[in-house]
Structure 1
């Protein structure tokens, strides 16, 4: 059920989807971030995550000041925490890092020269942000720009904070009816959607998705929404197979036969090996998961002798309007995979929950504008409200 949150001192009205699926108009508050301390989760170094307070930023030319209210914890965030993420090991990124590339929030103020955004707009933002002027960006491959930043990963602060200064050219407005939990997962949904489109355009047929974590499930949901498939999820954890079945997908522990189209969404050596083994001669494997290791054994002879194509997929360039439409029209509701929510002050607990690899933990989300006390109260309400499916922590 929708609830009013007292977060600051500016009143706005918004439409939110309740747990029953109805749309309700409620009053909300946008905090006056210019008069409040700015809090952010910060990765100081490997296995060192802290929440600290400092002066908030103001938007410059072409920028928005945003109040994030839902931020997903991703496998890439866990690699940043561990110090194994490729950008750290090759020197491209350095600590400290404010994580949070899967985020949504509300516009608090608009910098000079910005058009198309207003205070109170719900927005999401892309992860890869190119320079916008080089030949790579001009070709639409801004996710490969040599001077790019990546939100919450590479030389740009992420959304796991009470405020976020963000370039308007990389932000997208959402209809007010989109729930914050759905909005926060538009970024990983866009990654999944783009991965699906790295598969050959023809023939369209069955797709095996190895791994039923966040990206694997979002691939399956997106594929079904756009008419690809049928989809088979391959997952060795029984709890994840049961959850996948509850979403209406067939899920098995091992690949039953070879598929011409396979997505590896595991980020593990064993998952990659299963994907290669499960691909039919002449087929294509799209690799979406980062493993955080310097190398992973791959049977290169099998790739050559069976004429396999193995394709990486980085980010989500050029697909955001299509993905936003999938969510805004209700064809994909990413929030269905959220299992835990935490306050910003509980960021360490959120990362621990995500890292512990409990099969019952699907997607962990941090809510920067909520307190631990309100989280505990909401958990109590969820436990006593039979209409509210709720998440384990909120």
Structure 2
């Protein structure tokens, strides 16, 4: 093995394909021949801006974190994996020793190393090594593309858990991008009664409707009063029990807070400006709980079960585009067009 072609970000709009040495698996690691990587919005943001918040690309960094592949070598202390196993790769490695890790909320670990988050390299390469306890075998009926989708699906699973979704609830999803789609599908799989999806783009709303949204609402040019009337009408005159805000845009956050029923829950999933104006007094006096999420914890097994059981058919419901690693630059250009929900790169 000599070919470890890697997709490396040097700075704003500066993606290069270069050969790197093939890593060796440590005692507790797997060497994985990467097969499929999905492009995430964060990958595109790093490409366009060279940073996300305090995470700044200061040194060349391999992109990609939504990945699945085939085990090529097994570390000497690893049990339960064999060469040839197909695996989904959970891209974060926490410290395992802090209070957050010990209480099961390892996504909040301050020392977590996460693929394609400076200074940690990602997985958009022929080969990567990863700790075996954050790799998950794919059931026979789960494809490598679906294995890669376990990463964004885990975000949706975590968000739905934070929302405490229950059978029969009404749910508002603001934003019909990839995470909004997956929140829609996961909420439906959890037995909610009705889901309304909002967005600015009629094409994406049509896809959401096809994927199972009970109602869709284009928010372009509409006031908060207009949206209140249209969305509550879609719920049969009721306000949603839960709103899942997937855009990070201030007007959408305001919509989620003002339209959620008193005593309901708003989950903030999308990341926008670090400071925005929100109607916090209304949320307080109506006891609307506002909850954030950061990535996920202990969600990969559930995501895999949702796919393997047939409750979610992601490759049927999500529009996709496929590229080879050699065409990674074209793949990122396609992802910026946002004309499909997910762009895959095959390594």
Same-fold call, TM cutoff 0.5: yes
Matches within 5 A, 1:75-94: 75-81=41-47, 82-88=49-55, 94=58
What SS is found at the alignment partner of 1:104? strand
Within 5 Å, give how 1:45-194 maps onto structure 2: 45-81=11-47, 82-88=49-55, 94-194=58-158
**Are the equivalent residues in 2 in contact too, given 1:127–1:315 (CA < 8 A)?**
no
Taking a change above 3 Å as real, the CA distance of residues 288 and 95 of structure 1, as seen in their structure-2 partners, is farther
Aligned match of 1:199: 163
Q: Residues of 2 paired with 1:121 and 1:144: CA distance?
A: 30
What is the rounded CA distance, in whole Å, between the counterparts of 1:84 and 1:157 in structure 2?
A: 14
Aligned to 1:365: 344
Match of 1:298 in 2: 278
1:279 alignment partner in structure 2 = 260
Please list the CA deviations of residues 147-195 of structure 1 after superposition, one character each: whole Å capped at 9, or x if unmatched. Answer: 1111222443222111111111111111132112211101111110110
Q: Hey, what does 1:315 align to over in structure 2?
A: 295
1 CA distance for matches of 2:249 and 2:192?
25
The aligned counterpart of 2:246 is: 265
> Alpha-carbon deviation of 1:285?
0.9
Cα separation, 2, equivalents of 1:147 and 1:341: 34
Q: Which sections of structure 1, spanning at least 5 residues, go unmatched?
A: 1-34, 369-394
After superposition, the Cα gap between the structure-2 partners of 1:228 and 1:154, relative to the gap in structure 1 and judged at 3 Å, is farther
Distance 1:102 1:290 in 2: 18
Which residue does the alignment assign to 1:253? 218
C-alpha distance after superposition, 1:314-341 (max 9, x if no partner): 1120122121111112211222314211
Q: Distance in 2 between matches of 1:175 and 1:203?
A: 27
Distance 2:167 2:189 in 1: 18
Separation (CA, whole Å) in 1 of partners of 2:45 and 2:54: 10
TM-score under structure 1 length normalisation: 0.78
Kept in 2, the 8 Å contact 1:43–1:50? The answer is: yes
Counterpart CA distance in 2 for 1:194 and 1:171 is 18
Q: How does 1:335-350 map to 2 (within 5 A)?
A: 335-336=315-316, 337-350=318-331
**Alpha-carbon distance in structure 2 between the residues aligned to 1:123 and 1:242:** 33
Q: 2:195 maps to what in 1?
A: 231
The answer on whether the counterparts of 2:37 and 2:346 sit within 8 Å (CA) in structure 1 is yes
CA gap of 1:94–1:282, structure 2 versus 1, over 3 A, is: farther
Q: Deviations over 1:74-130 (max 9, x none)?
A: 1111222222412425xxx64322121111111111112111111111111213321
**Equivalent pairs, count:** 328
Distance 1:235 1:308 in 2: 23
Cα distance 1:225–1:105, how it changes in 2: closer, same or farther (>3 A)? same
- Rate the CA distance shift 1:363–1:106 in 2: closer, same or farther, 3 A: same
1:234 and 1:163 map into 2 onto residues whose CA distance is 39
Q: Partners of 2:256 and 2:327 in 1: how far apart?
A: 36
Q: Runs in 1 of length 4+ with deviation above 4 angstroms?
A: 201-204
The CA RMSD over aligned residues, in Å, is 1.9
Distance 1:273 1:83, change over 3 A: farther
Is contact 2:30-2:73 (8 Å) kept? yes
What is the CA-CA distance between 1:271 and the residue it aligns to?
2.7
Aligned CA distance change for structure 1 residues 126 and 94 (closer, same or farther; 3 Å): farther
Return closer, same or farther for 1:180/1:338 CA change in 2, 3 Å cut-off: farther
Question: Following the alignment from structure 1 to structure 2, what is the Cα–Cα distance between the partners of residues 367 and 174?
Answer: 17
In 1, the alpha carbon distance for the partners of 2:164 and 2:140 equals 35
Q: Deviations over 1:121-146 (max 9, x none)?
A: 11112133211122221111111112
**Aligned-residue offset at 1:284:** 1.4
